Amino acid sequence: MELKFRVAARVGKPVAEVFEAVVNPAELSRYFTTGGAKGRLETGATVMWDFHDFPGAFPVEVVEVVKDQRIVLRWAADDGDPVPGQSAGYQTTITMTFESLPDGRTLVAIAEEGWRETPNGLKASYNNCGGWMQMLCAMKAYIDHGINLREGMFK
């Protein structure tokens, strides 16, 4: 079974505003990266994301950015599951898509794939699925209502 998922949410603002809230590290740090984001998401860049609920900042490789449409990222799978004969570290791929809706809202979808088909890979994929859904909820609350859902949640 291939380990992958997709989550989505509708945010009540135009696509350009929603897209900017993800690629701009100052905006992303206001609702998602509780320890801060460093570096704008641009094709070929490596940025740093830090979370109070996950120890230490870590690199995020920016594979592709298509303005107001798509962001593709890669980061460490962190499943803690070394496989004999294979490198312990490997990456998963995250694809975010942004679709302008007729009513002026934006549909944001986040998919992640690439875990090894192991019990720890399955567990890591479930953890990330929940994390990305939480990101979408926090984004919606912040963009639509100016509320930071994650403030004080983990520290």
Averaged pLDDT, 143-151: 91
- Could you tell me what percent of the chain has a pLDDT over 90? 75
Q: Where are the domains of the chain?
A: 4-145
Q: Give residue 89's pLDDT.
A: 80
Q: Give residue 56's pLDDT.
A: 80
Averaged pLDDT, 40-45: 98
Res. 16 pLDDT band, cuts 50 70 90: very high
Find how far residue 133's CA is from the centre of its chain.
Answer: 9
Res. 46 pLDDT band, cuts 50 70 90: very high
d(CA 139, CA 149): 9
* Short-list 74, 5, 8, CA closest to 45: 74
Q: Give residue 82's pLDDT.
A: 56
d(CA 63, CA 91): 12
pTM assigned to the model: 0.91
For the record, the structure tokens of 150 come out as 């994650």
Res. 32 pLDDT band, cuts 50 70 90: very high
Averaged pLDDT, 117-146: 94
Q: Summarize pLDDT for 72-106 with one digit per residue, the tens.
A: 999 999 777 555 444 558 999 999 999 999 999 99
d(CA 58, CA 20): 21
In CATH, the number for domain 4-145 is 3.30.530.20
